[in-house]
Amino acid sequence: MHGVPAQGLRQGRIGHGGGLLLVAAVLASQLLTCASEGCEPGSRWHTGRLECVPQCELRLGLLSWNGASALRHVPASMHMAIHDVNSRNGTLAPALASIALDANVTWTYKDTQGDPVVAMQQVLEWNSGSSSIGALVGPARSAVSAAVSTIASLFAIPLVSFWSVSPLLGNKIDHPFFSRTIPSSTLVTDSLPPIWTAFGWRKVGVIFVDDLWGRSFNIEVGTLAAIGGFLHRG
């Protein structure tokens, strides 16, 4: 938390980089499942009321990328999210404030370095010990999310990304446990043909990164160009 300005923290709560809303939503879904189990072994009775309060333990894993300046506030946002959930603050996830739940949420963080192989190794390490991860937040890049999604599917771990926009990640057959809080890049590509027409352009070229996001973006642009009668090179 040291060295993070207050303004950056406030932006982290609402920004596209992960914000508190993302994390609170993931935690809410996990904790509500725990609460619905009722008075299972390990639960306790609330003092002063004839009401069972399930004790819920959840360990959350955050995968981000320190090398991207736009993402440096994400760990701080995560810290604030965990505090809000554990303190029963329902500002962003109202259900958390209304259910009887003794939640103990912890989190751990790894820097993926923007590398799919590194990220996969990190998730495997998290789930090789006695303290496994109950849900994953991140990663940022689509190529990294696709790799992590494969591992998450093996362990049936929910994966929620705050930055991955490749439309291919929306395929629930290939990525059944993946979800995101940011629209896919289809919204961007769909807006391009009207711009080309407005400027009178008939030829379009795409310079893209050769990864999951870049390749799918180039394919989308090519498809729209063919439909509109534009010449596409990518």
Residue 234 pLDDT: 84
On the question of pLDDT at 7 being above 50, the answer is no
Whole domain around residue 202: which residue ranges?
A: 188-233
Q: Confirm whether 60 is domain-assigned.
A: yes
- The enclosing H or E element of 120 equals helix 116-126
Q: Tell which residue, 110, 123, 174, has the closest CA to residue 146.
A: 174
Residue 205 pLDDT: 94
The residues near 208 (Cβ < 8 Å, ≥ 6 apart) are: 214, 215, 217, 218, 234
Does residue 147 share a domain with residue 57? yes
Q: Tell which residue, 178, 150, 153, 152, has the closest CA to residue 164.
A: 178
Residue 75 pLDDT: 84
Does residue 218 share a domain with residue 119? no
Average of per-residue pLDDT across 110-123: 94
Three-state secondary structure call for residue 89: coil
Q: Report the distance separating Cα 23 and Cα 28, nearest Å.
A: 8
Does residue 53 share a domain with residue 157? yes
Residue 23 pLDDT: 65
Q: Which two tokens stand for residue 152?
A: 């998450």
| Banded pLDDT at 9 (limits 50, 70, 90) | very low
Residue 3 pLDDT: 35
DSSP state of 211: S
Angle, helix 6-14 to helix 19-35, in steps of 10 degrees:
60
Residue 51 pLDDT: 65
On the question of pLDDT at 214 being above 70, the answer is yes
Does residue 194 share a domain with residue 161? no
What is the chain's mean pLDDT, rounded?
Answer: 80
- For residue range 19-71, what is the model confidence (pLDDT) as tens digits? 555 666 666 666 666 666 556 555 555 544 556 666 677 888 999 888 777 77
On the question of pLDDT at 10 being above 70, the answer is no
Does residue 114 share a domain with residue 57? yes
- For residue range 138-185, what is the model confidence (pLDDT) as tens digits? 898 999 999 999 999 999 999 999 889 999 999 999 999 999 888 899
Integer distance in angstroms from the first to the last C-alpha of the chain? Answer: 43
Q: Are 74 and 21 in contact (CB under 8 A)?
A: no
On the question of pLDDT at 206 being above 50, the answer is yes
What share of the chain has pLDDT > 90, as a percent? 41
Average of per-residue pLDDT across 113-120: 95
Q: Confirm whether 95 is domain-assigned.
A: yes
Task: Could you list the beta-strand ranges (E) of 65-214.
Answer: 102-111, 135-137, 159-161, 178-180, 203-205
Predicted model pTM: 0.76
Q: Confirm whether 1 is domain-assigned.
A: no
Residue where one domain finishes, among candidates 143, 166, 182: 182
